[in-house]
C-alpha cells in the first residue's frame, strides 16, 4: 500500500486535507481491488430484509409502519460489519502503526476513515433500496430525493461515531462483541430520527413535519464528528 | 385499589440494591485487606530469611 | 479524608436518610389519586437526578483524565460510573413498580423511561470496557473517551425520543407539589446526594487501595527471590 501513500517530496507538506484524502483514496482503492467489504455488507442487508420478512409478514398497511424500521435496522447491523473492518485490516498488517507514524495529523486519519465509512454505507444503502422496493412491492421513485437526504445524514452520523468506536474497540479483547454493545445505545437518536423521517417520507408528509428529526441528525453529525476528531488522538495513541 | 404491596415492593427493591452494592464494596475491601496482609507476611518472611 | 471526618459524614448520611424516610412514610400526605404507591416518587425522582449527577461527574473527570493523565481523575470516573449505574438501576426498577398500578402496564416506551434505559446500557457498556480491557493505561484512556461521548449523547437521546412519542408523555411534566410533598422531596434529595457522595468516596478509596496494592505486588515480585513465591 506504500505506493498510494507516497511520501511527500522533501519540503512538500501533505497538509491536513491532503492527508485525509490520501487515507480515503487508500481505503477506496483497497476496496475496489477486493470488493469484500461492500459485497458482504450488501449481502447482509439483503439477508436481513429476508429474515424480517419472515419474522413480520410484511405487506400492505403493515409495511408503511414497519418498513422504515426494517430498512434502518438492516443498515445499522450492516454498518457494524463495515465499521469493524475499518481498522481490522490495518491491524493485521501492522499498517496502523505505519499510518500513525506518518507525518500526518491523527485527525486527518480519522477524517479519511470516516469519509470512507460514509461512502461505503451510502453505497450499501443505495444498492439495498431497489431490493427493498422489490421485496415489499413499493414504488419509491417519488421519494428518491428525500430518501437520499436521510440516507446521507444517517450514513454520516453512523460513520462519525462508528469510526471512533471502531478504533476504540480495535484495541480491546472481544472487539466484535463490544462494538455493537457500545455503538447501538450511542446511535439510538440516529435510528429514531432516520426511521421517523423515512416513515414520514413514505407517508408523503410535508418536509416541515420531519424537519425536527433532520435537525437532530444534523446536530448529531456535526457534534460527534467534531468530538471524534478531537478524541481520536487519545484513542489510537500507544 | 390497594397499592400498598407495590409500595413495599418498590422500597424493598431499593434497599436490596443499596445493600447489595454495599455488601459488594465490603467484600472487596476485605479481599484487599487480606492481600495486603499476605504481602506483608511475604515481605516479613523475606527479611527474616534473606536470600543467599 | 480523615477517619474522624469520614465518621461524621457517615453520621450525616444516617441522619439525613432517617429524616427522609420519616418524611416519606409519615410526614408526607397520601396522594389523592394514586394512593400510597405514589410515595415511591420520593426515591424514584431523586435517584434519577443522582444518576445524572454521577454521569456528569464521569464526563468531567474523563475530560480531566485525558488532559492531565492523573490517576485520581480516572479513579473518580470509574467510581462515579458504577454509582450512576446503581442509581439508574433503582430508577428503572422503581419506575415499573410504580407504573403497574398507575398506568396499568409495567413498561411504556415514553421519553424519560426510554432515555434512562439507553443511558443505563451506555454506562453498563462503559463498565464492560473497563472490565475487558487488557492494558490498564490504554483501557483508562478508552474509557475516558466513552465517558465523554456517552454523556454528550444523553440530551440527543432525550430529544429524539420526545419527538418520536409525543403522545406518550405519561410522566407528569410539571407538578405543583403540596408543600409537605415538596419538603419531603428536598429531604430525600439531600439524603440521596449525601449517600451518593459517601459511596463515591468509599469506592474511590477502594480503587486507590486496589491500584496501590497491584503496584506493591509488582515491586515485591521484582524484589523477592523466585522460590519464595
- pLDDT score recorded for residue A10: 36
Q: Tens of pLDDT along C41-58?
A: 899 999 999 999 999 999
Chains A and B touch (3+ CB pairs under 8 A): no
pLDDT bucket at C182, cuts 50 / 70 / 90: confident
Give the sign of the dihedral formed by CA C82, CA C84, CA C89, CA C90: positive
**ipTM value greater than 0.90:** no
- Residues with Cβ within 8 Å of residue C32, at least 6 apart in sequence: none
Q: What pLDDT band is residue A94 in, cutting at 50, 70 and 90?
A: low
pTM reported for the whole predicted model: 0.88
Residues in chain C: 229
- pLDDT for A236 beyond 80: yes
Return the closest-CA partner of residue A232 out of A85, A86, A30.
Answer: A86
d(CA C199, CA B26): 11
**How far is C79 from C72, CA to CA, in rounded Å?**
11
Show the DSSP H helices in C104-134 as ranges. 111-132
> What contacts A76, CB < 8 A, 6 or more positions away?
A158, A184, A187, A191
Residues in chain C closer than 8 A to A181 (CB atoms): 125, 128
- Answer for the pair C155, A219: CB distance below 8 angstroms, yes or no: no
**Cα distances (Å, whole numbers) of residue A213 to A203, B15, C228:** 15, 40, 66
pLDDT in tens, C155-165: 999 888 888 87
CB atoms within 10 A of CB C82: 23
Is some CB atom of chain B closer than 8 A to the CB atom of C213? Answer: yes
| CA nearest neighbour of A160 among A226, A234, A233, A212 | A226
Task: Flag whether residue C209 sits within 8 Å of chain B, measured between CB atoms.
Answer: yes
pLDDT for residue A12 is more than 50: no
Best C153, C154, C162 residue to mutate vs chain A (most A CBs within 10 Å): C153
Alpha helices in C32-166 (DSSP H): 41-68, 71-103, 111-132, 136-164
| A152 CB-contact burial (10 Å; exposed 0-12 / middle 13-18 / buried 19+) | middle
Question: Which pLDDT tens digit goes with each residue over B31-44?
Answer: 999 988 888 888 78
Amino acid at each position: 500500500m506504500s505506493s498510494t501513500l507516497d511520501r511527500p517530496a522533501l519540503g512538500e507538506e501533505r497538509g491536513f486535507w491532503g492527508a485525509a484524502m490520501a487515507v480515503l483514496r487508500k481505503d477506496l482503492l483497497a476496496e475496489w481491488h477486493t470488493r469484500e467489504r461492500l459485497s458482504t455488507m450488501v449481502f447482509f442487508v439483503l439477508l436481513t430484509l429476508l429474515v424480517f420478512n419472515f419474522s413480520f409478514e410484511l405487506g400492505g398497511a403493515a409495511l408503511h409502519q414497519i418498513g422504515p424500521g426494517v430498512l434502518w435496522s438492516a443498515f445499522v447491523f450492516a454498518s457494524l460489519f463495515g465499521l469493524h473492518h475499518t481498522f481490522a485490516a490495518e491491524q493485521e498488517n501492522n499498517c496502523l502503526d505505519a499510518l500513525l507514524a506518518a507525518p500526518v495529523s491523527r485527525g486527518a486519519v480519522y477524517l479519511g476513515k470516516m469519509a470512507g465509512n460514509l461512502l461505503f454505507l451510502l453505497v450499501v444503502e443505495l444498492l439495498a433500496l431497489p431490493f427493498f422496493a422489490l421485496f415489499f412491492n413499493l414504488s419509491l421513485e417519488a421519494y428518491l430525493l428525500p430518501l437520499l437526504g436521510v440516507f446521507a445524514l444517517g450514513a454520516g452520523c453512523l460513520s462519525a461515531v462508528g469510526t471512533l468506536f471502531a478504533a476504540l474497540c480495535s484495541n480491546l479483547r472481544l472487539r466484535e462483541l463490544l462494538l455493537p454493545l457500545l455503538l447501538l445505545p450511542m446511535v439510538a437518536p440516529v435510528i429514531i430520527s432516520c426511521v421517523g423521517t423515512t416513515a414520514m417520507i413514505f407517508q408523503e408528509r410535508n418536509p416541515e413535519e420531519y424537519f425536527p428529526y433532520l435537525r437532530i441528525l444534523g446536530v448529531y453529525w456535526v457534534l460527534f464528528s467534531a468530538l471524534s476528531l478531537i478524541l481520536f488522538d487519545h484513542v489510537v495513541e500507544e | 385499589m390497594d397499592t400498598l404491596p407495590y409500595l413495599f415492593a418498590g422500597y424493598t427493591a431499593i434497599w436490596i440494591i443499596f445493600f447489595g452494592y454495599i455488601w459488594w464494596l465490603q467484600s472487596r475491601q476485605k479481599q484487599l485487606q487480606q492481600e495486603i496482609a499476605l504481602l506483608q507476611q511475604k515481605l516479613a518472611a523475606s527479611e527474616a530469611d534473606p536470600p543467599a | 479524608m480523615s477517619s474522624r471526618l469520614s465518621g461524621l459524614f457517615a453520621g450525616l448520611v444516617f441522619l439525613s436518610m432517617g429524616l427522609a424516610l420519616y418524611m416519606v412514610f409519615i410526614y408526607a400526605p397520601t396522594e389523592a389519586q394514586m394512593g400510597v404507591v405514589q410515595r415511591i416518587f420520593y426515591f424514584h425522582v431523586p435517584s434519577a437526578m443522582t444518576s445524572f449527577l454521577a454521569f456528569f461527574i464521569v464526563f468531567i473527570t474523563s475530560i480531566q483524565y485525558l488532559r492531565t493523565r492523573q490517576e485520581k481523575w480516572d479513579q473518580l470516573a470509574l467510581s462515579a460510573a458504577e454509582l450512576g449505574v446503581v442509581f439508574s438501576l433503582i430508577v428503572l426498577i422503581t419506575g415499573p413498580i410504580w407504573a403497574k398500578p398507575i398506568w396499568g402496564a409495567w413498561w411504556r416506551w415514553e421519553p424519560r423511561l426510554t432515555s434512562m434505559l439507553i443511558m443505563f446500557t451506555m454506562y453498563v457498556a462503559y463498565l464492560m470496557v473497563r472490565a475487558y480491557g487488557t492494558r490498564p493505561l490504554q483501557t483508562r484512556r478508552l474509557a475516558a473517551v466513552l465517558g465523554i461521548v456517552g454523556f454528550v449523547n444523553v440530551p440527543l437521546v432525550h430529544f429524539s425520543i420526545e419527538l418520536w412519542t409525543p403522545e406518550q408523555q405519561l410522566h407528569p411534566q410539571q407538578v405543583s407539589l403540596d408543600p409537605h410533598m415538596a419538603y419531603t422531596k428536598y429531604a430525600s434529595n439531600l439524603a440521596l446526594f449525601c449517600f451518593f457522595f459517601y459511596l463515591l468516596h468509599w469506592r474511590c478509596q477502594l480503587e486507590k487501595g486496589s491500584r496501590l496494592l497491584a503496584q506493591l505486588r509488582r515491586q515485591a515480585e521484582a524484589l523477592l527471590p523466585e522460590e519464595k513465591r
